[in-house]
Amino acid sequence: MSRGVARLAGGRVERACYIRVGLTMQILERLLAPVGTARFFAENWAKSPIAMQGDPERLADLFDWQGLDQYLNHHLRFFVFPAIQLYFGAAMGGARVPPEFFTESIQDANRSPLVVASPQKIRRLCREGATLLVHSVHDGDPRLKRFAAALQRELGETLRVDLFYTPPKSSGVHAHFDREDVLVLQIEGEKEWHLSAPTVLNPLVMPSYAELEDPPRVPDTVIRLARGDVMHIPRGVWHSTHTSRAPSLHLSVRVACRTGIDLLRWAVDALEAASPAARANLPLTLQSGPPFGYDVAAAAPAVRALRDMVTSLLDAPDFMARYNRACVQSDRAEEPYRFAAGASPQLDEGTRFSRPATQRAAVDDRGDVVALVAWGRALDFPRSALPVIDAVLAASRFTGGDLVRACAGAGLAWRDVAPVVARLMEEGLVFVEIEGRHE
């Protein structure tokens, strides 16, 4: 039995505080109470499972049964596999339901055929014990969208939120392990989790069904989550679930952390772009007869040259700064469409602007030119614009006058500030604040 699972088996219950999305306390701090972020990341994150059992109202403002109905009624009909999946109940081992079992063909207003999810079939399957899984539910729910964006900013890693509905007295998805580290948020009902130590350490790809055919027979521990509880499952940990007499609704926050392999892949891409020598042919020593393969002695100089190039890249003083900048540039806006806020008003010092608090940005000072990196963009500005950029990044809401006052020490007036702000608006990084709209 693994250390983390053995500790869980002791039956420790720790009470947590309320969670209200939008308060000043950080999302992680509230989710992980009463364990605390420092202890959690030192002892449990990506290492061992842990359950934070707390007040039933802790997640009340995040999602609920009514939110599930609203989401399905507004989104589900046109979802198709794999955006939605269903899994048979315990009688059939939690196997995936073939898509044709829960879809139907209809005609749209142009009499074009469409294959869509069938509410009637899905309801029937769920009544018979099937679990409903909806991927990336945060993309269609404003509350979950804000929650996911804030949590993603705190973690610095990409994530998605999946929804699981399991009817009473049923198993959920078949026993499996994930390639992401997961935070389970028990929204409604109860669910019993059977956890077993990893058989594959730090998996990077989704396991095939062949790998899942022989799960651990006896779980290392059993944990029952009730409404408001939170649990962390590291990637690779086997898990399966069962419900009691009530239906269960939980959210799985799947965090795709960058790994050493991701860093090395980025390094190879950087080397490919910057080094013609790395792109050079290997020597023509590939042998067509036994022993097949490259002549080791003849290829040795090329191998040594590649090793030196890789070492030089990894040892460069700015290597991690460049990688960090690439990570920030990979971020994307959680609400990319804001046509009203992106209109072209007359800007002046009284104009109110907003910048999402979850937006990450990096500034690269290249001497005469400053590069601002955010949301997939790398924008070049003259170095004289640096005070304006710093002032913009220092707040999420501000006026033109606020920026002028912040840049007074650099001798900049509104006529100097306005073109920088207009460029940021054009690129969708800063918005004119609309009355009544709050980030």
Question: Do 3-66+101-256 and 322-439 come out as alike in CATH topology?
Answer: no
> Coil, strand or helix: which one is 259?
coil
The tally of CA atoms less than 13 A away on the side-chain side of residue 123 is: 7
CA distance 376 to 378: 7
> How many Å apart are CA 92 and CA 99, to the nearest integer?
16
Mean pLDDT of the 189-193 span = 97
**Per-residue pLDDT at 12 exceeds 80:** no
Within 8 A by CB and 6+ apart from 82, the residues are 135
Residue-range domain boundaries for the chain: 3-66+101-256, 260-316, 322-439
Q: Which of 69-73, 93-97, 118-122 has the lowest mean pLDDT?
A: 93-97
| Alpha helix ranges (H) inside 53-180 | 65-75, 119-127, 142-155
CA distances from 146 to 82, 152, 211, 250 (A): 24, 10, 36, 18
Question: Out of 1.10.10.10, 2.60.120.650, 3.40.50.720, 3.40.50.360, which CATH number does the structure's domain 3-66+101-256 have?
Answer: 2.60.120.650
Mean residue pLDDT across the chain = 89
Q: Using CB atoms within 10 A of its CB, is residue 298 exposed (0-12), middle (13-18) or buried (19+)?
A: middle
For the domain 322-439, what is the CATH code? 3.90.930.40
C-beta separation of 331 from 378 below 8 A: no
Given this model, what pLDDT does residue 91 score? 65
Distance CA 47, CA 276 (A): 41
Contacts of 258 (CB under 8 A, 6+ apart): 157, 327
**pLDDT class of 344 with cuts at 50, 70, 90:** low
- Read off the pLDDT of residues 237-274 as tens digits, 9 standing for 90 and up: 999 999 999 999 999 999 999 999 999 999 999 999 99
DSSP 175: S
